[in-house]
A and B are shown apart, each in its own frame.
Chain A
Amino acid sequence: MSLHRSTPRLSRRRFIQAAGALTASTVLPSVLFARTGGPERLVVVILRGALDGLAAVPPHGDPDYARLHRELAIAPPGSADGALALDATFGLHPELQFLHERHTAGELIVFQAAASPYRDRSHFDGQNVLENGLMHPLGSADGWLNRAIAARSGHATQSSTAMAERAVAIAQNVPLILRGDVPVLSKSPIAAPDVDEELLARLQDLYSKDDWLSARLSEAIQSEHLGAAESEAQAIPTLAGPRAPVDRITAAARMAAAIMRSDGGPEVAVLEATGWDTHANQGGATGVLAQRLRGLDAALRALGTDLGPLWGQTAVLVMTEFGRTAAMNGTRGTDHGTGGCAFLVGGAVRGGRVIADWPGLGAASLLDSRDLKPTLDLRSVFKGVLDEHLHIDAKTLAARVFPDSTQARTLDGLIRA
């Protein structure tokens, strides 16, 4: 190379200040995390692949449950490997110890026989509806949580850059639920050594005429320090095998907690976990699904522990695209169904109860003679959480966040006053 120039290595913070001087086209906010929202925190956990709600929240009191779910059924509380008791009808899978402790502490609401308005059985369309908040899988490139954040900050006068810290996706790329007008951070728990800061500065310059890349690079640089010290310890070494989703969700949960806890950190985080599509050899109290549930439970416990004092103002929503068939299939698994379960847990939750208008598993009650019939629209839960926890008024929810949701009435009383 003809030109060699030595640049002293800058610390990341100094770099952020210095970058503006290096190139006039680079604009970075001088104050990060000028958060104006309240103290509430919301974490959404999306379980992709359709969790079997009848395994996670076994309806042991239903006379048809054991007959249909056969060897996959969880035994009633009190028996060996039995469910953890919730009430006379429902229990929790024995691996969901942390959730059960929260139930006892009055911090868990279990929803059963719930579903989004989607009624076909495609994972991918089902996830779209779960995340876009509409009646149909297509037709929206943004997600309901992004629209909610936009609505929440609508009255405040904030630049788009200052809004970037309102939400974080614990992933390299932003899932549909968080896509939209409000810029969102993404941060993955994959260990990455520092990038050469001079290269970053030169790239900012190179992107000066490319708003699309420029915006993303600025966000990436801003979020580099997020929760760094806390999350370094649990970052996944990049050479971990593909078989570690159980540990991955815990790493993601701990990273979410570290970022939310950082000074002025974001109020909303979204996590994802895959591996719930149990068509074959699903197992019961032990086995494949039990291991996944244990991983989820451990992740939620880690989130609670790491959030520390913030747990008291946190609500965690755990959901999946749909439930699975009421009957075991021919390969000791379950096929795509409709009604399923969801959880709302956290110090801010008015819990200790199951919300279920239980339709029963009798032949006449099943949807299409195969699935648990949904009696609760998940959007009712979403609206309740956004109303009471993030204080978004009913009119905005109906008009902007969940259009076409008049039949999904807001569920009241989910959050502690």
Chain B
Amino acid sequence: MLLQPEIAVLRFGLGARPGELATAASDPRAWLLAQTRGPAERAGTTELAPSNEIFEALLTAREERREQRLEAATPQEANAAGAIVREAYQPHYRAQVLARAASAALTTQPFGERLVHFWANHFAVSADKGTIHGLAGTLENEAIRPHVNGRFVELLTAVEQHPCMIAFLDNQNSVGANSVAARRAAARFAAPTDRAPRRFGINENLAREILELHTLGVGGGYRQEDVTSFAEILTGWSIGGGRGRLAGGAAGKFNFHAELHEPGAKMLLGKRYAEQGQAEGEAVLTDLAAHPSTARFLATKLVRHFIADDPPPKAVERVARAYLKSGGHLPQVYAALIDSPEAWEPQARKFKTPEDFVFSTLRALESTPSGAQEVIHAFDLMSQRQYTPGSPAGWADTAASWDGSDALMHRVLWASQTAGRFRDTARPTEIADAALGGRLRPETATAMRRASTGGQAVALLLMSPEFQRR
């Protein structure tokens, strides 16, 4: 078969670092399979704070801001208090973005790293939402990395019980209408007062997105009543260390607040779930993970990510079957993907996203970002600001969402800025050979030789049709 090492490294991995094509060459499939064992460790040396510490720091900062605003003598002083919270979360966002890029640039397990990115996008959170400022990267590092090579149900449960997901999809305050907390509040206001009682109720955001985006998929066979019922099942899935009715539990960690939980048995997708508190939601996640719609939905997304925007049905079928047969054991699912002949067709059918482009460039140039600003600048320029897909659906995984002419011009701009650093010293043709191997076209090699500077030659490499696709 043609180009097997190139396909393993460029399509399944994150793009070649010098020498990587040679490493994978003896047995490309074995090279990939070896990366589907155990937790996916982050490469690089950036220190990251855990989510509970960030949560606590943010709670303290918000409290300080509140006090400063109360004490403020002028509106300007009150506005200035906002900086307290910004200063509490921004360093964490920047550190997480830098750590992500460094790990992508340095890892010797690039297929495992791509799988981390895939699942982080499947379970997308967006850092532009106020409640999770400074926390978006913690979901990827704390819930996804440890479980990326486990069973899907473990990954799913870790994600849905991560405080970042709970806060992103607003579940921490979701209250059952007949819960202890709601009944207590109703009793307090039983006597006629001039103030209406605070309404307690569910928030269906997390329940809906688990069904629609994380498991069954939108055509997966659930209805509005299932969403409502699932939201009731999930009442109480919250975060510890809050105030008032959210008091209790370890600060910034998952906490089941029993008093918020809607009591009684519930029906979901035609099945009855007996009252079990926290375990009730876990039982639902187990059933959702085993559902054929989930197998098909996940298989379709994996095949779309690794093979083609229009997923070949046979490959989807094969991967979905492996999922069901193995009980959602992810390494066996990945193995089915790797065993799909469609994945090894020489034509590169995936147009790189900005993320793919930046990470493969860092690897090709053996460059690690010097600071967060460099990474932020690159992704701002190309409209894929890290950890901010803007919605729980994550970033689009098809070319049509990334192939605008304006977007292409911004790629050219970034490529020329980045390559400019290689003006005099580097040897562009060696970089090209190490980055693309047999994929390098003679036209590109010729254009690089004719370039007027070394930097321009590298820019031509980065923007070449073969580097822009995987």
Query: Measuring CB to CB, which residues of chain A are less than 8 angstroms from any residue of chain B?
Result: 1-7, 48-49, 70, 120-125, 137, 141, 169, 171-174, 176, 179, 185-188, 190, 192-193, 195-196, 198-200, 202-203, 205-207, 209-210, 212-213, 216-217, 219-221, 223-224, 238-240, 242-243, 245, 274-275, 277, 279-280, 328-331, 333, 335-336, 368, 370
A216 touches B408 (CB 8 A): yes
Residue B451 interfacial (CB < 8 Å): yes
Q: Which of A137, A188, A203, A221 contacts B463 (CB 8 A)?
A: A203
Docked-complex contact B409 and A4, CB < 8 angstroms:
no
Whether B199 and A49, one on each chain, are in contact in the complex, defined by CB atoms closer than 8 angstroms, is: no
On whether the beta carbons of A200 and B212 are closer than 8 Å, the reply is no
Cα–Cα distance between A209 and B447 once the two chains are bound (Å)? 14
* Complex interface: chain B residues within 8 A of A179 (CB): 400
- Which B residue's beta carbon lies closest to that of A207? B465
In the complex, besides A172-B407, A190-B410, A223-B405, 16 extra interface pairs with C-beta distance below 8 angstroms are A1-B454, A3-B451, A48-B391, A120-B224, A121-B224, A172-B404, A173-B407, A188-B406, A192-B409, A193-B413, A202-B456, A216-B404, A217-B408, A329-B204, A330-B174, A336-B208
Separation of A196 and B455 alpha carbons in the complex (Å)? 11
- Give Cα distance in the complex from A224 to B412, angstroms: 13
Residues of A within 8 A of B406 (CB): 171-173, 185-188, 220, 223
- Cα of A183 to Cα of B464 in the assembled complex, Å: 22
Chain A residues whose CB sits within 8 angstroms of the CB of B127 once the complex forms: 242
Interchain CB contact under 8 A, B128 and A280: no
Q: Interface size class for chain B?
A: 35 or more
Which secondary structure characterizes the binding site on chain B? helix
Is B416 a contact partner of A330 (Cβ separation < 8 A)? Answer: no
Closest to A334 in B: B203
Chain B residue with Cβ nearest A192: B413
Cβ contacts under 8 Å, A212 to chain B: 403
Which residues from B are CB-within-8-Å of A279?
Answer: 169-170, 203, 205
B452 interfacial contact with A, CB 8 Å: yes
Pairs A–B under 8 Å by Cβ, sample size 18: A1-B449, A7-B452, A125-B218, A171-B383, A173-B401, A174-B404, A185-B405, A195-B409, A198-B452, A199-B459, A217-B405, A217-B412, A219-B405, A277-B391, A279-B169, A279-B170, A329-B203, A370-B224
- Min Cβ gap A152→B in Å is 22
Decide if B95 is an interface residue (CB 8 Å cutoff).
Answer: no
**How distant is B16 from chain A, measured CB to nearest CB, in Å?**
20
CA of A123 to CA of B428, assembled, Å: 46
Across the interface, B460 reaches (CB within 8 A) one of A121, A186, A206, namely: A206
Contact between A173 and B383 (Cβ–Cβ < 8 Å)? yes
Q: Which residue of A lies closest to B463 (CB)?
A: A203
User: Contact partner of A172 among B201, B227, B382, B460, CB < 8 A?
Assistant: B382
User: Which residues of the partner chain A approach B377 to less than 8 Å between Cβ atoms?
Assistant: 238-239
B176 to A, closest residue via Cβ? A330
Contacts of A198 on B, CB cut-off 8 Å?
Answer: 452, 456
CB of B150 to closest CB in A, whole Å: 28
Q: Which among B200, B385, B452 is the interface contact of A5 at CB below 8 angstroms?
A: B452
Specify which chain B residues have a CB less than 8 angstroms from the CB of A220 in the assembled complex: 405-406, 408-409, 412
Instruction: Provide the residues of chain B in CB contact with A329, threshold 8 Å.
Output: 201-204
Is B444 touching A206 in the complex (CB atoms < 8 A)?
Answer: yes
Residue in chain B with minimal CB distance to A226: B406
Contact between chains at A1 and B205 (CB < 8 Å):
no
Q: Are B174 and A331 in contact (CB under 8 A)?
A: yes
In Å, the complex CA distance between A3 and B127 comes to 47
Are B208 and A172 touching (Cβ within 8 A)? no
In the complex, per-residue mask of B376-404: 1 if CB is within 8 Å of any chain A CB, else 0: 11001111010010110100000011111
B165 interfacial by beta-carbon distance below 8 Å = no
The answer on a CB contact under 8 Å between A3 and B380 is no
Residues from chain B with a CB closer than 8 A to the CB of A370 are: 224
Q: A219 vs B174: C-alpha distance in the bound complex, in angstroms? A: 49
